Structure formats: C-alpha cells, structure tokens
Amino acid sequence: MLDPLNRMSRMIPDNAPKPFVLGILLWFIAAALMLLAFGLTQLDWTALYKVVFSLMLLVIIGFMACVVWFLVELITGRKTPWRSRENT
C-alpha cells in the first residue's frame, strides 16, 4: 500500500533541504484540500466545508513555517538534509 510513497521518497535526493521537501509536500496537500473544499461548496455541504477549510488553514500555516525555516537556514548557512545517514 505504501509502495508508491516509498518510490517517491527514493526520488528525493538525500541532501535536499528538509524544509523545501516538507514545504512542497504541504503545498500539494493544501491544493488537494482546496479541490475538496470547492467540491463541498458545490454540494452545499457547509459543515464539511468548514472542517476542510480549517484543515487547509493549518496546512497553509505549516507551509509558511517551512518557508520561514528555509529562509533562516539560507541566512545562517545551516542545512538540515532530508535524510541523515548518521545511524547507518
């Protein structure tokens, strides 16, 4: 079941910045939630729309936090890699 996710995870280089990878992931989740919210408004399901909109707001705040994290790492010169190979 998780095989497609594992395949996509292997496509990400090990030295990619972690905030960049998480930001892209959150952006895709927000886009999917926006599509779901649009569909719910077309069906006039306002209660579910409010739930999806709240989740979308949290994901967008997470995306903005990743942007700040990326900028802080860019300014300070520190880099958090996507995968650290310390345990292997």
Contacts of 23 (CB under 8 A, 6+ apart): 63, 66, 67, 70
- CA dist 86 and 26 (Å) reads 26
User: Consecutive sets of 10 residues in the chain, 88 residues long: mean pLDDT of each?
Assistant: 76 83 90 94 92 94 92 88 62
Query: Residue 81: its pLDDT value, please?
Result: 80
Query: Residue 88: its pLDDT value, please?
Result: 45
